[in-house]
Structure 1
Amino acid sequence: MRVGSVTKMIVALIILRLVDAGDLCLDDEIHEHLPELSDLQVPRGVTVRRLLNMTSGLPDYTSEEFVEGLLVAPDRLWTPSELLEVAFSGSQEFAPGTSWAYCNAGYIVLGMLIEHLSNARVEDVARRLVFDPLGMHATELPPLTHGSSTLPDPRLRGYHRQADELADATRINPSWAWTAGNAVSTAGDLRLLVEASARGDLLQEQTHRECMSTHPVPDTTLGYGLGIANFDGMWGHNGELPGFQSFAGHDPATGTTIVVLTNLDDHSADTLAAFLRARLLDAASS
């Protein structure tokens, strides 16, 4: 099923593996690699690191109005450039590096960066650098294609609540989320992903340390690293998009891994994961 922003762990791992390969540095300014972003007035100071850890200050595109519009035109194919045009119709949130705000647009930029550096489609790079090394054979980043659902059979349908009714959101073309949230996966594959991400299995030691260095998330107890969050000792990511919610987390201290996938977007996967974690801790201490 669709896993939403858990995709960001995949994209971050790709970028960090390219860092280890010497193709770029975390503190490179994005203009150095994608000069065409100057047309969108991306400010100086937006680095690869700041895109990964959500401190770039870039405007975002996933407003409530935008998401509701997906249900009206579910078959629309969105290109990365179109998504950034929507984002940059708004204003820069803050000067790069001075604050923190969740930003899907930043991960669209990172997807463009991956394709530029690799001269290949991001879905193929993900297969080579992440999915195959980890044995994630049921996971993919769907290609940008016309038409509706790219979920393979057998599949769960996803539902979005509108007022008092449930709307089937399964057929929404996932191109709108691209490298910010379009991955399709299973609970078993996400376990492989989150455990490897938390341990740094695919990364050099210094790169993994950089990945796990977090910035405080305002008004929460959470910290956000390079595409991975610290949920009070459980490292991973959550995801939400029309019809689906997800959570994948690993606690290195206890060896506990929790993956939650739901096919109704008003049922919080985070809440279910926290409940399960508390129950497991209670059971372990009794």
Structure 2
Amino acid sequence: MDGVKRRRVLSGGLTLAVAAGAAAAAPKSAATAAPRSTTATAPKGAADRTSRLRAILHRLTTADGAPGALVEVWHRHGSGTVLTSGVANVKSHAPMRRDSRFRIGSMTKPFVATVVLQLVGERRIALDAPVERYLPGVIRGHGNDGRTTTVRQLLQHTSGVPDYLAYLTPRDVLKDPLAHHDPRDLVNIALAHPPAFEPGTGWRYSNTDYLLVGLVIERVTGRTYGEEIHRRVIAPLGLCETRVPGDTPTIPGPHPRGYARPGGGAPLVDITAVNPSVAGAGGSMISSGTDLNRFLGALVGGELLRPAQQRQLMTTRPTGNPDGRAYGLGLESRPLPCGGLYWGHGGDILGYGTVGGATADGSQATVMVNLNPGGTDAQDADMKAAVQTALCERHH
């Protein structure tokens, strides 16, 4: 991923830089671990893998600049590990808690895609139908046209619809971080600009795609995307630490403060309280390592979708990234350094960065830092390295 910029839209989510404010610098980190399961036998090589994960977390909270970091791993053998490093609060120096909740940014997208694909299985949405069928007249102007753009293209980022975050300035958001942002207003920011390409002829990550998908869900069901996620995914899986917060700017339960660094050597800024409607269906959710691993395991394992929709979910197209990443419908695949691949997503939102992944044979890992934006260029790479290290168990 690209280095820190004043504003960036990453392949994994939503990031807006900040303009002012300061907090004390974070102290050096210290990693701690605790098993998620004490009854299962740890897989061979677990000690070596844990040591390598500790080293990555230490880099994240020292050289990479994050105040705190967490990784939670669940192995196909039935054992689990939670590692933390650094602090949840740079003023009180409270350590990062293993049961932390946090904003997950664009890891919201797989939840939204799951709802759509369930509706496809119920014959209430057709993937290759034009968006115009569900949102008449919404995608219009400057060459954008819902009559030639399909639901599948929105889910797979092949619509060409511009990303509203390329035009929404950080200063505009931070003038009133608690303000409500209507999804139609955010969509209209994007549609004031021409498409990146003709629908279906290219790939470009666009948060606007998922704002539109959220509107499709609401039009088809008569309920918000958040209500549908709760009744179709959160409640059935028992994800007690996961929610779609709407306009609520606080994070319930134990959570680290979220920080940003405006640039250079500037002090940290506490931006924990933000109205997540600015991210909407593209990135507003709150969750935990435990819940994200449960969700990813269920999704990749076929628990949430019918076989036909599962195949659609995992039918990918290349993104053009040199890391070999390919994008399905709200879920991406990446090669593992030990062979094979894993499925997951990343998420960036003010104050927090998250990466999660799962393998088809039943392992999951989620990593989180409470700094975004403002880490070093290596922060994104180290977060992905943590997930890959955790998932490469079968070669030990």
Structures share fold, TM-score greater than 0.5: yes
The aligned counterpart of 1:252 is 360
The counterpart of 2:317, out of the listed 215, 222, 234, is 215
Q: Encode CA deviations 1:169-195: one digit per residue, 9 max, x unaligned.
A: 111211100100000111111011111
3-state SS of paired residue (2:286): coil
* Partner Cα distance (1:50, 1:279) in 2: 32
The 1:26–1:270 alpha-carbon spacing in structure 2 relative to 1, beyond 3 Å, is farther
- Note if contact 1:262-1:269 (Cα within 8 Å) is conserved in structure 2: no
Structure 1 residues 159 and 38: CA distance shift in structure 2, 3 A? closer
> Is the CA contact (8 Å cut-off) linking 2:181 and 2:278 kept in structure 1?
yes
Q: Which residue of 1 aligns with 2:108?
A: 7
1:152 aligned residue (226, 232, 252): 252
Shift of 1:203: 0.9
Q: Which moved more, 1:72-81 or 1:26-35?
A: 72-81
Give the partner amino acid of 1:260: V
Structure 2 unaligned regions, length at least 5 = 1-101, 336-340
Alignment of 1:29-178 (within 5 A): 29-40=130-141, 42-43=144-145, 44-63=147-166, 66-144=169-247, 149-163=249-263, 164-178=266-280
The Cα of 1:272 is off from its aligned counterpart by 2.4
Aligned counterparts of 2:239 and 2:164: Cα–Cα separation in 1? 30
- Contact 1:70-1:172 within 8 A present in 2 as well: no
Partner of 1:182, secondary structure, is coil
Kindly provide the amino acid, as one letter, of the partner of residue 293 in structure 2: R
Structure with greater proportional strand content: 2
User: Which residue type is aligned with residue 22 of structure 1?
Assistant: R
1:165 is paired with a residue whose SS is: coil
Change (3 A) 1:195 1:117: same
How many angstroms does 1:39 deviate by?
Answer: 4.6
CA distance, structure 1, for counterparts of residue 390 and residue 286 of structure 2: 28
Question: Residue 117 of structure 2 is aligned with which of 16, 36, 47?
Answer: 16
C-alpha displacement at 1:206, in angstroms?
Answer: 1.1
SS of the residue aligned with 1:273?
Answer: helix
1:285 and 2:395 correspond: yes
Specify the code of the residue in structure 1 equivalent to 2:353. Q
Partner of 1:235: 343
How many percent identity over aligned positions? Answer: 33
Offset of 1:32 from its aligned partner? 0.6
Using the TM superposition, give the Cα deviation of residue 279 of structure 1 relative to its aligned residue in structure 2, in angstroms. 6.3
Matched position secondary structure for 2:169: helix
CA distance in 2, matches of 1:86, 1:9: 24
2:326–2:334 Cα contact (<8 Å) kept? yes
Q: Is the Cα–Cα contact under 8 Å of residues 111 and 179 in structure 1 kept in the other structure?
A: yes
CA distance in 2, matches of 1:39, 1:47: 14
Q: Which has the higher helix share?
A: 1
Question: Are the equivalent residues in 2 in contact too, given 1:6–1:239 (CA < 8 A)?
Answer: yes
1:33-81 residue CA offsets vs partner (Å, 9 max, x unmatched):
1103155563132111000000000011112862353233212210001
- The answer to whether the 8 A contact 1:52-1:107 is kept is yes
- 1:168 Cα deviation (Å)? 1.3
Match of 1:262 among 345, 369, 372: 369
- The answer as to whether partners of 2:140 and 2:191 remain within 8 angstroms in 1 is no
Q: Cα gap change, 1:99/1:165 in structure 2, threshold over 3 Å: closer, same or farther? A: same
- RMSD of aligned residue pairs (Cα, Å): 1.9
- What TM-score results when the alignment is normalised by the length of structure 1? 0.92
Seen in structure 2, the aligned counterparts of structure 1 residues 59 and 200 have a Cα distance that, compared at 3 Å, is same
1:273 and 2:384 matched:
yes
Choose 1 or 2 for highest CA Rg. Answer: 2
Q: Secondary structure at the match of 1:35?
A: coil
Over 3 Å counting, the alpha-carbon distance change for 1:32 and 1:170 in structure 2 is same
SS of alignment partner, residue 37 of structure 1: coil
Aligned pair in 2 of structure 1 residues 187, 153: CA closer, same or farther (>3 Å)? same
User: How many angstroms does 1:284 deviate by?
Assistant: 4.9
Q: Which amino acid aligns with 2:364?
A: T
Q: Is contact 1:158-1:264 (8 Å) kept?
A: yes
Q: Which amino acid aligns with 1:277?
A: Q
CA distance in 2 between counterparts of 1:189 and 1:94 reads 37
Moved more, 155-164 or 95-104: 155-164
1:218-247 CA-to-partner distances (Å, cap 9, x unmatched) read 133100000000011110100001111001
Q: Deviations over 1:80-133 (max 9, x none)?
A: 011011111222110000000000000000001111111012221111111111
Q: CA deviation at 1:269?
A: 5.2
1:9-32, CA deviations, whole angstroms, 9 ceiling, x for partnerless residues? 000000000111110111011001
Which deviates more from structure 2 when the two are superposed, residues 107-116 or residues 72-81?
72-81
What amino acid maps onto 2:239 in structure 1?
M
